[in-house]
Amino acid sequence: MFEKATIVKRDVFYSEETMIQLLSLILLACSLFASAQPKRVVTVATGEYPPYTGKQLANDGFVNHIIRLALESQGYQVHFEYLPWKRSFQSTNLGQFDMASYWVCEPEYADSFYCSDEIYKGNLLAYFRKTTPLPKWENIYDLKKFRIGATLGYEYVPEFHKAVEQGELDVLMVTDDKHSLNMLFNDRVDLVLLSDVAMQALLIKAFTPEHATLIHASDKPFLAYTAHVLFPKSREGSLVLKNDFNKGLSQLKRSREWDRQWQRLLNAEFHPDAAIN
């Protein structure tokens, strides 16, 4: 009833040009598929420390912009949540955020956090009025007779916190750097602790050029530090996220994009009135 079908086998050959076109179409399809996939949104707990971090700063400040660039290069979207510093640290430790920007990697954090590679190196300096210069000092206990203005939630050397708790240093804690510097100008404290870049940004934003001529920094850094991002061990996927961030950060440094952003920092281009770049 039915005739048996005869299958004729033919060898099909494609030219090199056709093969290249087919391969290009396959790669394009893969690229479109990948780009269509939703990117994971990473939530970052952070605080206000101009010009490094800040809601009103261009690009959220130098550090947060570096974080954004590093993660976006690895396919993530980034959202920053601005909180008081102490709360941002504690909330991240509880796993409420993917990461915390930005902190010194203290040894005692190792049980709770993975620490990123170094974002930048910095110095915390002791600023004083030129009319009442500091004597030469070797350790924080040489500053016992001075009243120090410090900011709640900031990291200082462990010896500093220990000395404060034991009442060996006279420290007045306030909520922000502007308040602290105002106290220095009004003779309520003898010195304040701030990085050189942060001090310059604060003077530009909140004070007059005349104010800048009234203070000076100690030649000896109060604290030499490296800045990092913390990833909570309480949150699943933190180790993968840390590795992805480090990869993106390394790419920024190799490509010299990190250097370009650092120069923007030195040029005060993260100031709120600066153009976003």
Q: Is pLDDT above 60 for 29?
A: no
Rounded to the nearest 10 degrees, the angle between the axes of helix 62-72 and helix 238-254 is 100
Say which residue, 113 or 31, is predicted with more confidence.
Answer: 113
Domains and CATH numbers, the chain: 41-121+226-266 (3.40.190.10), 123-224 (3.40.190.10)
Lookup: tokens for 104: 């010194």
User: Which amino acid would we find at residue 224?
Assistant: A
Is the dihedral angle over the CA atoms 63, 66, 70, 76 positive or is it negative? Answer: positive
What string of H, E and C letters represents the secondary structure of 132-163? CCCCCCCCHHHHCCCEEEEECCCCCCHHHHHH
How many Å apart are CA 212 and CA 201, to the nearest integer?
Answer: 11
Q: Residue 87: helix, strand or coil by DSSP?
A: helix
CA atoms within 13 A on the CB side of 277: 16
Determine the average pLDDT of the residues in 177-184: 95
* Cβ–Cβ under 8 Å, residues 73 and 65: no
Q: What is the pLDDT of residue 165?
A: 87
Q: What are the pLDDT digits (tens) for 64-112?
A: 999 999 999 999 999 999 999 999 999 999 999 999 999 999 899 999 9
Cβ-based neighbour number of residue 120 at 10 Å: 18
pLDDT band at 2 (very low <50, low <70, confident <90, very high): very low
Note the pTM of the prediction, 2 decimals: 0.75
Highest-confidence range of 163-167, 183-187, 216-220, by mean pLDDT? 183-187
